Structure 1
């Protein structure tokens, strides 16, 4: 793919991600995406077979955004759950406690086995990355010796998702902060 092609594809996915996050997948038409990305139909269909294919690309973009905001998950030297919590809280403050970039799609993909499977796989990767962080914390004595890293990944991701939703509803970070602090306290 040429640099110009990459820019066109990226513009399409960025516009679709913004619209689908704000309006929902069903309420975002391909014409809306074309208008927002200032691209043509031939470009869109050059890169994507259909709306489902574009939506898969959006889910992956949102997942990459989530991980970019939590760099300690990709840092094999990090073993500090507090640092991860701080990264999560900072990202949510910066975005004024909006919906999770990935979690917002959870109720929107039920009718599509492909999209539901993609979203589930991305959440599984996220949970695994958090579990790996918990495993590093375990090896460095930062959590209790009986902590199961995989189980910790699930507990921490659940706290993050629930806290994010409640913080969004209340318009402040207290629910997310308390949820993460409570989950981490159970592990230490």
Structure 2
């Protein structure tokens, strides 16, 4: 497999799986759009919807397609649908992945980013099979609050098992990435304030 300097750098970032990271906090993420292909001439398509709220089971989905990805373009590229198995906003507190890896963000995901961990099934019949991966995303705001007209960033999407092992990408998303508090979180804060009054 040929590694470009960018891909080497991203693999180093993605390879720090066992190192200490931020504890995941409750929150939701949704959105997606197109981003650059991994070295190809086309575009990668990314969508995500995930929720981690109030100790309820994490839920959500990730869809991804990069038909011109280097090392996979001759077999139709990278394409999968995935179920989210871990999610959360990376907070300021530090946790130990040895306790529960799904409660701690990868070192590649910094405070303020939202991380999803997923189990995928390839949708490319030329490269079938299941696998695992993770993605870190940043909500860059909307409208006049957006950063230089950018509304979402996939800091990194990395595949660590399965037919797309070694795929690592990242970049600005043409659409939007939105992170929010869990539904009812503001109401909970209001109720707590009322009770203390």
- Where on the TM-score scale, by shorter chain, does this alignment land: which range? under 0.3
Bigger proportion of residues as helix = 1
Higher relative contact order (CA 8 A, sep 6+): 2
Bigger proportion of residues as strand = 2
TM-score by length of 2: 0.22
Larger radius of gyration: 1
TM-score by length of 1: 0.23
